[in-house]
Amino acid sequence: MHYLLLTISAFAALSLLISILNFFTIRRVRNAPSQITSRVSVLIPMRNEEFNAHALLETLLRSTGLEHVEYSVLDDGSTDKTPAILSAFSDRVKILTGGPLPDGWLGKPHACHLLSQAATGEYLVFLDADLRVKPDAIASSISLMDCLGWDFLSPYPAEHGKSFLMHLVQPLLQWSWLSSVPLRLAESGRRNSMVIANGQFFIVKRAAYDAVSGHTSVKNEILEDLSLARRLTSAGFKGGVAEASAVAECTMYESDADLIAGYTKSLWKAFGGPVGTMATLLLLTLTQVLPFLLILAGVWAALIPFFLVASTHLLAAIRVRTHPGNALLHPFAGLALMALIMESYRRKSRGQLQWRGRRVL
C-alpha cells in the first residue's frame, strides 16, 4: 500500500507541476479591440441546430475589427427548424445546402470541406453552432495568431453545462490537456501526440489548409479537428491552442442524453486504440478514484494524492472560468468519464454510434 500511494502521489505531483506551468504560460486570447485587414471567412456547419442557429448568428454579426469578412453556414440536411431560422439571415449570411455524403466521408468533415470550397478568405474560421462569441473574439484570436507567427490557432472556449452530469464532465475537456501536456513544448511541433485542437473554434490560414488538402485529408476522422491540426504540424506549419474563455463560451449539449451521445461517438478513438484506452482507464482509476476510496476506508495518507489531484482541477477551473468547487468532485467526474469510455466501446461494437440522427460509422 505504501508503494502504491507513493506511485499515485508521484503521478499526481507531476500532473500538478504541468498544471502550474500551463497556468502561467498558456497563450490567452484577450478581449481587446483588434483590426484585421485581411479577408476572413467564418464557416459554420449546422445539422439540426434549431436551439443554436439564431443565437450564434446574432452574436457573430456583431463582430468587430474585421474589415473584410464573409459569413457562411452550411445546412447539412437538417430536419428541424434550422433551415427556416437560417433563411431570416440570408441577406447577411451565405447559406449553403449540403447533399448526400460521398463514400468514405463523415458528416462534419464533409460539411467543413464544402464550406471551405466556397470561401474566399485568407483566414478560415471554423465555428460550431453551439459557440457564442464576443464582438472582438475573432479579430483578437487572429491578432494573437499573427503575433505568434502561427499558421493555425485553436482558441478554447469556456465550457458550460445545464445539468449536474454536464458540470462534472465538461470541465474535463480542458483539464485533460492542461494537466498532462506541457503546452509550450507542444508548440514546438516536435511531438505530434502533444498537439491540442478543438473544432468548436479553429482558425487556419488558407495557404496552410490547402497545403495539407484541408478536410479532404481527414474526411473519415471522427476527431477531425485534432487530426487536421496534427496534419498541419506534421507538414511543418506552426500552431497550437489558446485559452479563450474571455471571448468565447460553449454549451455543447441540451440534455444528458445528448452529452452521452456526443461523448460516446468519439471516445473510442480518443486514446489511440484499445491499449491507450486501457492505460487511460487505469490512470483514471489510480489518480482520480482510488485515493477517494482509500480515504473512505480510513487510509488517511491517501489525502496527499487526493488533494494533489484536486489542485490540478482547481487550477484548470480558475484558468478556464469554470466552477472551482468541482475540484473536490473529481472522483465522480473520473467515474463518469470512465463510464462514458466503456459505453463508447459498447455502442461501437453494436454499431450504435450516432450523432444528429446520422450514423457515425
Does residue 1 surpass a pLDDT of 90?
no
Identify the CATH homologous superfamily for domain 26-163+170-253. Spore Coat Polysaccharide Biosynthesis Protein SpsA; Chain A (3.90.550.10)
- In angstroms, the CA 186 to CA 349 distance is 33
Reading the block at residue 77, the C-alpha cell is: 440536411
Reading the block at residue 84, the C-alpha cell is: 427556416
Residue 224, CA distances (Å) to 107, 192, 237, 266 in order: 10, 15, 17, 10
Query: What pLDDT is stored for residue 325 in this prediction?
Result: 80
- In angstroms, the CA 296 to CA 61 distance is 53
40 in Cβ contact with 142 (< 8 Å): yes
Query: What pLDDT is stored for residue 183 in this prediction?
Result: 94
Taking residues 67-96, what's their average pLDDT?
A: 96
308 in Cβ contact with 292 (< 8 Å): no
Report the percentage of the chain scoring pLDDT > 70.
99
- In angstroms, the CA 116 to CA 120 distance is 8
Write the pLDDT tens digit of every residue in 263-295. 999 998 888 888 989 999 999 999 999 999 999
- In angstroms, the CA 39 to CA 122 distance is 5
- In angstroms, the CA 230 to CA 238 distance is 10
Query: What pLDDT is stored for residue 361 in this prediction?
Result: 66
Query: What pLDDT is stored for residue 224 in this prediction?
Result: 95
Write the pLDDT tens digit of every residue in 12-49. 999 999 999 999 999 999 988 899 999 999 999 999 99
Write the pLDDT tens digit of every residue in 243-261. 999 999 999 998 999 999 9
Taking residues 299-319, what's their average pLDDT?
A: 95
- pTM here? 0.94
Residue 113, helix vs strand vs coil: helix
Q: What angle do CA 8, 273, 335 make, to 5 degrees?
A: 45
Q: What is the DSSP letter of 283?
A: H
First to last CA, the chain: 44
Taking residues 309-321, what's their average pLDDT?
A: 94
Domain ranges of the chain: 2-24+258-359, 26-163+170-253
| Single-letter amino acid code for the residue at 358 | R
Query: What pLDDT is stored for residue 188 in this prediction?
Result: 84
pLDDT band per the 50, 70, 90 thresholds, residue 165 = very high
52 in Cβ contact with 129 (< 8 Å): yes
pLDDT band per the 50, 70, 90 thresholds, residue 189 = confident
- In angstroms, the CA 178 to CA 320 distance is 10
3-state helix, strand, coil in the chain (%, to 5): 50, 15, 30
Query: What pLDDT is stored for residue 4 in this prediction?
Result: 87
